[in-house]
Each structure stands twice: as C-alpha cells, then as structure tokens.
Structure 1
Amino acid sequence: MNIKIVTVAGSGVLGAQIAFQTAFHGYTVKVYDINDAILEKAKTAFQKLGTAYQADLNATPEQVEKAIQNLSYYTDLAAAVKDADLLIEAVPENPAIKTDFYKKLAAVAPEKTIFASNSSTLLPSHFAGATGRPEKFLALHFANEIWKHNTAEIMGHPGTDAAIFDTVVAFTKTIGMVALPLHKEQPGYIVNSLLVPLLGAGLDLLVRGVADVETVDKTWMVATGAPVGPFGILDVVGITTAYNINKIAATASKDPGQIKVTEYLKKHFIDTGKLGVVSGEGFYKYPNPAYEDPDFLK
C-alpha cells in the first residue's frame, strides 16, 4: 500500500511533532483535534517547530514553509480522516478516551485507512476490537523531540496483518525515522521499558525526601555522562503524560508509594499548571533550565 495522505489525531506535544515531521517530508497531513482553540495552539507549535528545524537540522525557510502548507486542520473527524491512508492517534494516554475515540473513528474512516496508536504504555490489543479493523491496527511510537530523537517503534498485536506492519515500517523510514520493529507486544515498547523505571525511581527518591530534584539529576548526569537527568526528561516528556501513566499504574497496583507519587504530581504540578517545557515551568523553569548551566555539575 502506498501511503500519501496522513491524518494525525491529537495536536498536543507529540501529536504536533508527528504532524510536522510528516509534513516536512512531503506528505499531505490532516491535523484533527476536538476544537478550534486547541488547533490554534497547534499552529503556534508548528511555527516554533519550524524554528527548531532550522536551528537543529539546517532546514531552509522554504522547507519550513512548504511543511506548513502541507498541513490542514479539522474538528470534524469524518472530514479529517476522509481519503486518509494512515491515521496516527496521539490522543491523551487514557484507556477510556482512546477506546471512545476508536469507536467513533471506526464509524467514519474509509476501509483502506490503517490505524496506528502512538500510546506510550498501552498495548494495541487493548483497543484492537474497538477499531473495527484489528488487522489494520498497530502501535507506532515516537520519542519526544522527534526531529532529533528520530526513533519509530512499530509494534503489532497478534491480529495485525504482516503486510500492514511492513507498510508502516517502510513509511517511518520515509519521514526520517530509524524504524525499530518489535516482534511481540511489550508495554512501553523498548524506549519506555528502559525510561519509565528511571523516571519512576527519580520521582520516588524525591517524594520520599531522599534527595531534591537538582541532586538526583546531577547524580545521573555526572555518573553516566547523560546530557539530562530524570526530572529534566520529565519536563520534556510533559508532566501531564507522566501523571496519567502513574495514575493508571497506581490504580492497578494499589502501591502506596506510587499513589503518593501520583498525588504529589497532581498537587504540585497538574493543579498549578506547571506542566514542563510546554508551559514554561515544571521541575525547572524554561527556556534556560538550571541543568544547562555550566556550573550545574560542579
């Protein structure tokens, strides 16, 4: 199957990046979200991404402008998915929201459309039934700052058609990704199977009062040579996403420590609007976080 038209459902931090990266590589991209106000924020995000692409990838202003011209905007799901060869879902990391979305999508999408979920931690088999086309459904996960951290993890479920899987693997390469196919379902794929425990350990150390944010990050950066620590990563990922993941895990496990972490994130960050880089403040203040100061590691 030849993919030409791509719909991205959800224009938040990662949804906007997926849409822009795909448009930058020449695809017609339809951006769907639930209201015009959110789409206006996406347009602002695309302008910022254009600046980042020029700084980090040496993209020309003409390339950026062409990418922006390849984008169109929709609040009507049926119109957004009309003629789409591939739909990439990047709606909030909440099982109920995703299930509801797929049921609505199944009712209006063309038969040809492949559905791919960018879920960070949830398995595609959880939603395959709701899609109405399990054989054309899989997971496709991108890392934040997609234009630099250009990984694309492709993960089917037992009912995914092998040809559909191969089509999506090939597609990711055409948008500048390093394709990383997984052979079986794994919560968190590869990246988050490694990353989530690290971030969880950092939060646990903070919430239990073992060490403060700067000390935890400094320890990790000095000891491993990493350019950023767990809390700097959390700010980039977005604290809303981290909260949603922890809330799901805490509900399932009933673990007191995880419940305490979830409550801490809600009280100090979600309720106060400190959502990370996207809001200008999370564990650090932006655009010049303390961990980028040359003296931070001393």
Structure 2
Amino acid sequence: MNYKNITVAGSGVLGYQIAFQAAYHDFNVVVYDINDEILSKAKAKFDTMSTAFKEDLHASEKQLQRAFDNLSYTSNLEEAVKNADLLIEAVPENPKIKIDFYKKLAQVAPSKTIFATNSSTLLPSQFADATGRPTKFLALHFANEIWKHNTAEIMGHDQTDPEVFKDVIAFAKAIGMLALPLAKEQPGYILNSLLVPLLTAATDLYVTGVADIQTIDKTWMKATGAPLGPFGILDVVGITTAYNINKIAAEESKDELKIKTVNFLKEQFIDKNKLGVSTGEGFYKYPNPAYKEEDFLT
C-alpha cells in the first residue's frame, strides 16, 4: 500500500471525521465539497473534533497541529484529486447524486486514483460503471465517531481488483481502524445490517404511537446496557441520513407506514433544521441530552 495523498469528497457528518482521522495519522488530505461556504463550516467542525481527540485519545497539541497541517481544502474537483492515491466519497446517500458525482470524477481523476464509497446502505456495484474504473472501486464504510468506534468495513464487488481490496484494508489499519473485510456484497454491510432494523423499529414504534421517544430509548438502554438508545443513535448518525434511507425505502415499497415516517422526519426535523448532534437539536437537545442525565434510567 503506497497511499500518501487522500481526497475526501464531502465534508458532512462522516466526511470531515474521515478526513481528520487520516490527517491525524499523517496522510496528506484534501477535503473537497461543492462550495467554499460548506468548506468553511467543515473547518469549524475540525476544531470541535480536535477537542474530542484530546479527551478521548489524549492527543497532544503537537499531534493535533500536525493533523491540521496535513489538511487542505478546495471546491474545485479537478484540483482536489490531481495527486490523489485514494479518493473516499462521502456525498449524500442518494443514488442520483452519487452517480452524477462519479461521472464528473471519472473525467478529472488520474488513472492511479482508487475510488472508495462510504455509502451506508448502497452497493458499490450500483456505481461501478459510473466510476469508469470498476476494478479500482470498492466500498470503505466507517462508523460514526470513527476515532472511538474505529471500524472500517471493506466491501468489493465482482470486478474489484483483489490487490486494490488488500491495499484498502492496509490503509484502514494505517489510520487506526479495525479493518473488517466482507467476502461479498451486502446492503448495509455488517454494521448497518444490524443497526438499521433497530432504528427503523424504534421509529415505527414512535410514529404509530406505541411509546414516546424517551421511553423507547430507556427500554433499549436499560435492557441491553447500551450507552445510547435508538433515538440517541439517530441524532449521532444524523437525521438526514435516516430520512434519505427511509425515503428510498418508501419510494420502492409504497408502504404506508414508511411514507408516514418520511413525512414525519421531513416536517418535524429536516424542515426545521433539527438534524441531530450536528445542529444542536434532533430528538434531543445538545450538548446536554436528557439521556446523559443521572436519573434518566431511574
């Protein structure tokens, strides 16, 4: 694995985390997004993230400064990938947006550049043709708060070069991840194959009036010992991601409950910019959500 220059496309919930994690482990990282305003917001998020690295990883000021020195930013895609050994795509969880992005990327990226999608639920084979380099394309999926929940699921498709697969596993380890290779394509990988049904069930229980948000979260936390309930998890993941996943499912299935859930998430959260931890409010208010109170489970 000879990667040194990494480009992260998309500076949203996971994109900026991936970028900082790679920079912290001494890779040169270019952060790309569609305009400079979004990139300015990303820079502010890196400051918050450095605080988390201090608290959770006991990172030194010298280590953090080196990470910042390894980061650069651009809204010009050609400029972003001109030296890239690996590009990690973290654009919105929407097939059309991703396909459009890959078609543009294929026109400007050097032939050496490996493409990896961080898609949570979509398969790499859905985008392989659009990349123009299917043998150099695969999925590399991270859990949220990747510096703590340091998993990296690596999933190829039928055309992925085995050497590329091995190199991406090596890269994942090089940035401090527990590398988790999958032997075949699976919607949602391992993590989301387990997690999405939980989050969907919790949302269904609330939307159908079975119980309120805190009661559902208390049930899960107390019964399993989990530090977060499903709605706390949704706030961390980002409600936009949950909305996009439910929207795709509703469009495909025409299921009345899924449609009701999509409308609920849109009207009560998306339209009000209550997107979870990232905006300071989702199902809970931050930085002091109710589930962190000492008496939450009493």
* TM-score bracket relative to the smaller structure: over 0.9
CA distance in 1, matches of 2:296, 2:75: 45
2:221 maps to which residue?
A: 221
Pairs within 5 Å for 1:1-298? 1-298=1-298
The whole-number CA distance in structure 2 between the counterparts of 1:169 and 1:249 is 31
Q: Give the distance between the partners of 2:50 and 2:97, measured in 1 at CA.
A: 30
3-state SS in 2 of match to 1:8: strand
Q: What is the deviation of 1:158? A: 0.4
In 2, the alpha carbon distance for the partners of 1:61 and 1:263 equals 45
Alpha-carbon shift at residue 83 of structure 1 (Å): 1.2
Deviation, 1:13, is 1.2
3-state SS of paired residue (2:14): helix
- Per the normalisation by structure 2, the TM-score is 0.99
Shift of 1:253: 1.0
CA distance in 2, matches of 1:260, 1:130: 33
Q: Percent identity among equivalent residues?
A: 71
Runs of 4+ in structure 1 off by over 3 angstroms are: none
* 1:41-91 alpha-carbon deviations (Å, 9 max, x no partner): 010011111111001000001111110110000111000000100000000
Task: Give the C-alpha shift of residue 205 in structure 1.
Answer: 0.3
Unaligned runs of 5+ residues in structure 2 are none
Residue deviations 1:167-202 (CA, integer Å, cap 9, x gap): 000110000000000000000000000000000000
CA distance in 2: counterparts of 1:232 and 1:297, whole angstroms: 14
TM-score by length of 1: 0.99
Q: CA RMSD in A?
A: 0.5
Cα distance in 2 between the residues matched to 1:40 and 1:72: 12
Aligned AA for 1:287?
Answer: P
Partner deviation per Cα, 1:248-274 (whole Å, 9 max, x = no partner) = 111111111111111100010001111
* SS of 2:259 mapped into structure 1: helix
Q: In structure 1, what is the Cα distance between the partners aligned to 2:152 and 2:161?
A: 19
- 2:247, 2:135 → 1: CA distance? 30
Displacement of 1:29 in angstroms is: 0.2
What amino acid does structure 1 have at the position aligned with 2:124? P
- Can you list the C-alpha shifts for 1:195-214, whole angstroms capped at 9, x where unaligned? 00000000000000000000
Letter in 2 for 1:87: L
Q: Matched residues in 2 for 1:215 and 1:196: separation?
A: 19
Structure 2 residue identity aligned to 1:191: L
Cα distance in 2 for residues equivalent to 1:43 and 1:219: 38
Distance, in Å, in 1 between the alignment partners of 2:274 and 2:290 is 16
Q: Can you give the 5+ residue segments of structure 1 that lack an aligned partner in the other structure?
A: none
CA distance in 1, matches of 2:272, 2:9: 27
Name the amino acid aligned to 1:268: Q
Residues 225-248 of structure 1, C-alpha deviations (whole Å, 9 max, x = no match): 001100000000000011001001
